[in-house]
Amino acid sequence: MKKIILLVFSVVFIFTFNLVCFAGEFQQVGEYYRYFEDDGSVAHDKFVDKGNDKYYVNSDGYVVFNSWIEKNNKFYYAGNDGKLYGEGVFDIEGYKYYLNVEGEMQKGWCGDYEYYGDPEDGYLVNGFQELDIPRSFTTEVTNERTAWFYFDTNTYKRVYSKNNPYTSVIIGGRRYCFDQNGILRTGWRQIKETTPVMKGYMYFVDETTELFKYGEAVTESWYAIEPPSEVLPTSEVRYFYFNGQGQPRTAALGSVTKVRLDNKTYLFNEYGFTVYGIHKINDEYYYFGPSVKDCSMKTGLINADIDGSNDGSNFYFEDEGRGYTGIKSNKLYYKGKLQKASAEQKIAAIKIKNVAYLVNAAGVVQKNRKKVKDADGNEWTSNGNGIISGSSDNASFTDAVPPYVSNEH
């Protein structure tokens, strides 16, 4: 605990007064200085005003230098010329203190709440401090009594947002959020206005984790949380990825964007979180996994009904993720979706870009078939590539069906 040491008097640092007479003046007596009242008597234990400056004479009648002075439970400081310090922040004996306009050392909140003096010894604090919230502060939380504040380690001033509701500040290489009162805030906070709106948000953790300290912004990491309720009201936890500046990855307004992260590809929407299921991008179809927890882009053969069409279809996606169009392993695909006849129909003519293929109920291309009949008795003939070369006059062709696009955000 730092203590204030009160000295009766100190060694004098030489200074000169323009002496005319003893009355109402300072006079050097030996190594020290005394102040003589108007009647010529020596002043004792009192403050002396001289021009715009103030001095203190101790009980022995000597001017005090370089010392703290305690008077009526208030503390003042006399410098090396004997003048009492005025209003402001002063470096005294290795610590900083705030003195008011009367020169009194301040404890607690001071300097229009810019600083905070230790409640016992008065030295200004810096760094993170958990303090009582001044009653004059209007806060966003009802009955909020204490909060974390941060005081700059150089200026000792309280850090707070000056122009916006919130500001992010880098402290020790980590980002933190402070409101207009200087209170450390956690959770989703809109740091600036952007389009889309989520690009201006950051997320500050409300508990210390293995990666992040309490109040720190999530950066260069995945994080599973609910979206900001004011942006997208939902209680569903989603996966966000935050860059090195703490911004979530987002797509442009009304769109989605593919992003390569950790050797996997993900699809982000304008709300900043990853989506799953089948999605259409620039007239191509991609599959981003079956659930919110497994939403990286998938490739190759998918042996499942993944588009919600409930027709038992299988899918094939190229190495780049696009749905495959054409014949693969003797089966016909369009935009990634297996094309096939219904179980009742048995065979069907599926048309892709004005080319019709003959396929069975398993999606297998029927090659070199001659006058094979479907369930309606129509006859079909195909060549060695499975392309239809002949059919009954009343036979109908079916346009290829692309995957069913997920409605999931």
Asked whether residue 161 carries a pLDDT value surpassing 80, the answer given is: yes
The residues, ordered by sequence, that sit 6+ positions from 305 with a Cβ below 8 Å of its Cβ are: 311, 312, 313
- 8 A C-beta contact, residue 78 and residue 67: yes
Q: Give the β-pairing of 347-352 and 398-399.
A: parallel
pLDDT recorded at residue 21: 47
What's the CA dihedral at 60, 63, 65, 68 to 10 degrees? Answer: 60
The CATH class that applies to domain 347-399 reads mainly beta
Task: Give the Cα separation of 348 and 363 in Å (integer).
Answer: 9
Q: Give the β-pairing of 388-391 and 67-71.
A: unpaired
Distances (CA, A) of 110 to 106, 136, 241: 6, 13, 41
Q: What is the mean pLDDT of the chain?
A: 92
Task: Give the Cα separation of 18 and 12 in Å (integer).
Answer: 17
pLDDT digits (tens, 9 = 90+) for 248-302: 999 999 999 999 999 999 999 999 999 999 999 999 999 999 999 999 999 999 9
Percent of the chain with pLDDT over 70: 94
Count CB neighbours of 298 within 10 A.
21
Distances (CA, A) of 86 to 6, 52, 226, 252: 18, 10, 52, 56
Whether the pTM exceeds 0.75: the reply is yes
Asked whether residue 172 carries a pLDDT value surpassing 60, the answer given is: yes
pLDDT digits (tens, 9 = 90+) for 375-392: 999 999 999 999 999 999
Task: Give the Cα separation of 338 and 326 in Å (integer).
Answer: 10
Task: Give the Cα separation of 68 and 206 in Å (integer).
Answer: 43
pLDDT digits (tens, 9 = 90+) for 44-95: 999 999 989 999 999 999 999 999 999 999 999 999 999 999 999 999 999 9
pLDDT recorded at residue 308: 76
Of 18-27, 227-236, 381-390, least confident by mean pLDDT is 18-27
Domain boundaries, the chain: 347-399
Task: Give the Cα separation of 372 and 382 in Å (integer).
Answer: 9
